[in-house]
Amino acid sequence: MEAILENETKITVNEKSVHELDSLFKPKAIAIIGASSKELSIGNVILKNLIHYGYTGKIFPINPKEPTVRDIKAYPTIFDVPGDIDLAHVIIPSKFVPQIIEDCGKRGIKSVIINSAGFSEMGEEGVALQKAFLANAKKYGVRIFGPNCQGIINADPQYNAYCDFTFTFPKPGSISIVALSGGVGAFIMQSLFDLEIGMHMYASNGNACDVSISEVVKYYGDDDGTKAIILYTEGFHKPKEFMDVAKIVSKKKPILAMKSGRTEEGAKAAASHTGSLAGVDITTELIFEKTGILAFNNEEEMCQAAMAFSTQPIPKGNRVGIITNSGGPAVIATDELVSAGLQLPALSDRAKNILIETMLPEATIGNPIDVVATGGGKHFRSALDVLMQEETIDSVYINFVTAPFTDTDEVARQIVEVNKQKRKPIVCNFMTNMSLERFQVTAKILKDGGVPCYSFPTTAAKALGALYKYYKVQNRNIGEAKIFNDVNKTEVENILLQAKNEKKEFLKSAQTYNILSQYKIPVADWQIANDVNDAIKAAEEIGFPVVIKADAESLVHKSDSGGVVINLKNADEVKATVEKMKKAFEAKDLKFFVQKFLSDGRELIAGVSAKKDLGHLIMFGIGGIYVEVMKDVVFKISPVTEMEANEMLSQIKTSKLLDGVRGEKGIHKQSVIEIIQRISQLVTDFPQIQEMDLNPIMAFEDKAFVVDARIKIKKD
């Protein structure tokens, strides 16, 4: 029976371990094509690193001229090497690479890291070379990592595969890194090393012509040795593919990423609001949000959080208990914890009774529990035990200042013992003088015991905040986008085709409003008039009061130039307005857009802007003519689900306005939420829509109407 069971487990383990990228990350034999005896060369450093890191597999330097490189037998070509080769490093001039890849294919090598540069990053000639070697790789099923890249590292002692030319030699651990930029990847790896955080795998894939960031993230997601992933990228080649992967992986383990640098300078002034408000590239950030990737403001915060992720369980809620032996730091921590969304619940009577018995008389019993500076190991322990037992506490934050009159090692040992139970996450703000040997010992006890230690209350609190954020990711389900079946797709198709045939970028008002109506997006009653009599007739049919807007292709912001006159109460006012506009606007195609006047609405904006290879960004916020000044808008990537549309309303800074302030009535949120979902469906159905602005949408207590709309489509 036992033997059978053992067999069975072996089979499943084997099945799981067979993965295409295993030849890259878990190579058993590596050839270094371009291995060199020259000390300061990449072909030498890679070999040196493999040896130095204790690579457990076979190394075959390939060099046609040298019999040995760094005292290891070298071979003139890969065909002279005895036995299998899983992985080859290619460190030769780019022009020879296509032929070498062909050879690798013939030789049955499964993965190749091309460290050499001189490909797609170098203009036309390089692009052609990259295409040529890729074609050869495809022919034989060789996977290419790079080119123009650092490589990979597998710190698992089973492999110790340091297939990289950098200089940090990480301790084995559970954090895996994937970075497009080698420079950033390397300093993140070094930062983890400095913080004494172990690393599992590392990948920096340069031009990423074959093995992509998405593929590596997926691989790490399935890899049992990876507890958390650090990702650095400045954008995505195939954002959709990445999102599909990230969505799944982020539910399994945390993905930590940095918000990439954004500056206003990058913004292109667009004709319409959504374009200019989206401005600089926020897409990466939105991809992170939608897929549950934890975005950090800077690399330091990210690495500090990684320390907590590498050792601590994920909390099961936002309720934190604080233990402190000094008052002030607890105040600072509380501020940070609360702004990260955590709460400090009161302790139960049961907990308080235990603490009254066990704490020093001068201790404060509550949340925070102040064990006071004279508190020792047993006091910390009792406080920890109590918090671990409290059902209303999900995580523990500790301020530990090394009071010279206490046995700090004993305090550390008690913290470590409780930490080892792994019941609830613990972070520790450890305040000490590290130049004193005595406290170095205390620090080592904590570190060896897997307690994430920080030297500022805010840093520790932020790390705990990140753990909580991941709890939210795990429990967030945005659902699927709703499909409205009452829309008329064919009619919109016709209108868009007509606009395309007219070779117009911006749709005419009539076309725009008709499209909205076909998707049941409520618009204020309107008609288009050619002259005064038309306008009066239209106004009478719509019913006074009305608004008249000068309507011509060249007019973008109509009200800036007196092209919008509101609240016209009778035919005379309509007549006067039309005549005035006729004089003011010279446009040949000038018409008069007559619209129902809707008074006292809350002006909102919804908009859309197309993103290549991704879909559309959907925007929502406070609208009207001051939208650019207020900039109170939020974005999501289409298709937007009902939950996301809901979130948009609450994520704007002035979301309270929507509920009504100072006796004002609130707006009918559900109508607006539906409009957002319907425009999301519209642009998903018609990707040729490049931009759309509904500004304003007039929202009332019981409904909402679009009163100004603009749609821009792809010209060709």
Interface residues with ligand ADP (CB under 6 A)? Answer: 524, 547, 549, 557-559, 564, 566, 595-598, 603, 624-625, 695-696, 707-708
- Residue 391 or 702: the one with the smaller Cβ distance to ligand ADP is 702
- Residue 227 or 549: the one with the smaller Cβ distance to Mg ion is 549
Nearest to 248 by CA among 212, 222, 228, 285: 222
Q: What would the two tokens of residue 191 be?
A: 């930062």
Taking a C-beta distance cutoff of 8 angstroms, is the pair 113, 147 a contact?
no
User: Among Mg ion, ligand ADP, none, what does residue 332 contact (CB within 5–8 Å per kind)?
Assistant: none
Distance CA 347, CA 374 (A): 22
- Residue 36 or 695: the one with the smaller Cβ distance to Mg ion is 695
Distance CA 546, CA 569 (A): 7
Distance CA 116, CA 138 (A): 19
CB of 228 to Mg ion, least distance (A): 46
CB of 509 to Mg ion, least distance (A): 12
- Residue 573 or 708: the one with the smaller Cβ distance to Mg ion is 708
User: Among Mg ion, ligand ADP, none, what does residue 330 contact (CB within 5–8 Å per kind)?
Assistant: none
User: Among Mg ion, ligand ADP, none, what does residue 462 contact (CB within 5–8 Å per kind)?
Assistant: none
Nearest to 466 by CA among 458, 186, 197: 458
Distance CA 670, CA 651 (A): 15
Burial of 688: CB neighbours in 10 Å, binned 0-12, 13-18, 19+: middle
User: Among Mg ion, ligand ADP, none, what does residue 549 contact (CB within 5–8 Å per kind)?
Assistant: ligand ADP
- Residue 394 or 708: the one with the smaller Cβ distance to Mg ion is 708
CB of 696 to ligand ADP, least distance (A): 5
Amino acid at 680: S
CB neighbours of 318 closer than 8 A, spacing ≥ 6? Answer: 341, 342, 343, 394, 468, 471
- Residue 354 or 707: the one with the smaller Cβ distance to ligand ADP is 707
CB of 513 to ligand ADP, least distance (A): 12
CB of 561 to Mg ion, least distance (A): 13
Helices (H) and strands (E) in the chain, counts: 25, 29
CB of 112 to Mg ion, least distance (A): 56
CB neighbours of 79 closer than 8 A, spacing ≥ 6? Answer: 103, 107
Nearest to 386 by CA among 344, 358, 409, 416: 358
Q: What would the two tokens of residue 279 be?
A: 């401005």
Task: Supply the DSSP symbol for 48.
Answer: H
Amino acid at 81: V
Task: Supply the DSSP symbol for 319.
Answer: B
Strand partners, 199: 175
Distance CA 628, CA 273 (A): 7
CB of 602 to ligand ADP, least distance (A): 11
User: Among Mg ion, ligand ADP, none, what does residue 595 contact (CB within 5–8 Å per kind)?
Assistant: ligand ADP
Taking a C-beta distance cutoff of 8 angstroms, is the pair 699, 668 a contact?
yes
CB neighbours of 388 closer than 8 A, spacing ≥ 6? Answer: 396, 418, 421, 423, 424
CB of 692 to ligand ADP, least distance (A): 14
Taking a C-beta distance cutoff of 8 angstroms, is the pair 388, 421 a contact?
yes
Nearest to 54 by CA among 180, 196, 137, 172: 172
Taking a C-beta distance cutoff of 8 angstroms, is the pair 49, 36 a contact?
no
User: Among ligand ADP, Mg ion, none, what does residue 603 contact (CB within 5–8 Å per kind)?
Assistant: ligand ADP
Chain position carrying tokens 């759309």: 692
* Residue 500: HSE in the Cβ half-sphere, 13 Å Cα cutoff: 14
Distance CA 645, CA 640 (A): 6
Taking a C-beta distance cutoff of 8 angstroms, is the pair 109, 88 a contact?
yes
Taking a C-beta distance cutoff of 8 angstroms, is the pair 256, 228 a contact?
yes
- Residue 350 or 631: the one with the smaller Cβ distance to ligand ADP is 631
Strand partners, 400: 430
Nearest to 56 by CA among 78, 80, 86, 19: 86
- Residue 482 or 557: the one with the smaller Cβ distance to ligand ADP is 557
CB of 708 to Mg ion, least distance (A): 3
Residue 692, classed as helix, strand or coil, is strand
User: Among ligand ADP, Mg ion, none, what does residue 524 contact (CB within 5–8 Å per kind)?
Assistant: ligand ADP
CB of 484 to ligand ADP, least distance (A): 25
Chain position carrying tokens 């099961």: 316
- Residue 432 or 695: the one with the smaller Cβ distance to Mg ion is 695
User: Among ligand ADP, Mg ion, none, what does residue 26 contact (CB within 5–8 Å per kind)?
Assistant: none
**Which positions lie near Mg ion, rule CB under 5 A?**
695, 708
CB of 628 to Mg ion, least distance (A): 11
Residue 229, classed as helix, strand or coil, is strand
- Residue 207 or 695: the one with the smaller Cβ distance to Mg ion is 695
User: Among Mg ion, ligand ADP, none, what does residue 388 contact (CB within 5–8 Å per kind)?
Assistant: none
- Residue 102 or 551: the one with the smaller Cβ distance to ligand ADP is 551
CB of 457 to ligand ADP, least distance (A): 47
- Residue 248 or 552: the one with the smaller Cβ distance to Mg ion is 552
Residue nearest to Mg ion (CB): 708
User: Among ligand ADP, Mg ion, none, what does residue 159 contact (CB within 5–8 Å per kind)?
Assistant: none
Axis crossing angle, helix 571-584 with helix 532-542, rounded to the nearest 10: 140
Axis crossing angle, helix 327-339 with helix 457-475, rounded to the nearest 10: 30
The continuous run of DSSP H or E covering 200 comes out as: strand 199-204
User: Among ligand ADP, Mg ion, none, what does residue 146 contact (CB within 5–8 Å per kind)?
Assistant: none
Distance CA 577, CA 544 (A): 14
Residue 18, classed as helix, strand or coil, is coil
- Residue 218 or 558: the one with the smaller Cβ distance to ligand ADP is 558
User: Among ligand ADP, Mg ion, none, what does residue 624 contact (CB within 5–8 Å per kind)?
Assistant: ligand ADP
CB of 549 to ligand ADP, least distance (A): 5
CB of 702 to Mg ion, least distance (A): 23
- Residue 577 or 595: the one with the smaller Cβ distance to ligand ADP is 595
- Residue 206 or 563: the one with the smaller Cβ distance to ligand ADP is 563
Q: What would the two tokens of residue 502 be?
A: 């007219």
Distance CA 222, CA 478 (A): 23
- Residue 339 or 561: the one with the smaller Cβ distance to ligand ADP is 561
CB of 564 to ligand ADP, least distance (A): 4
CB of 566 to ligand ADP, least distance (A): 5
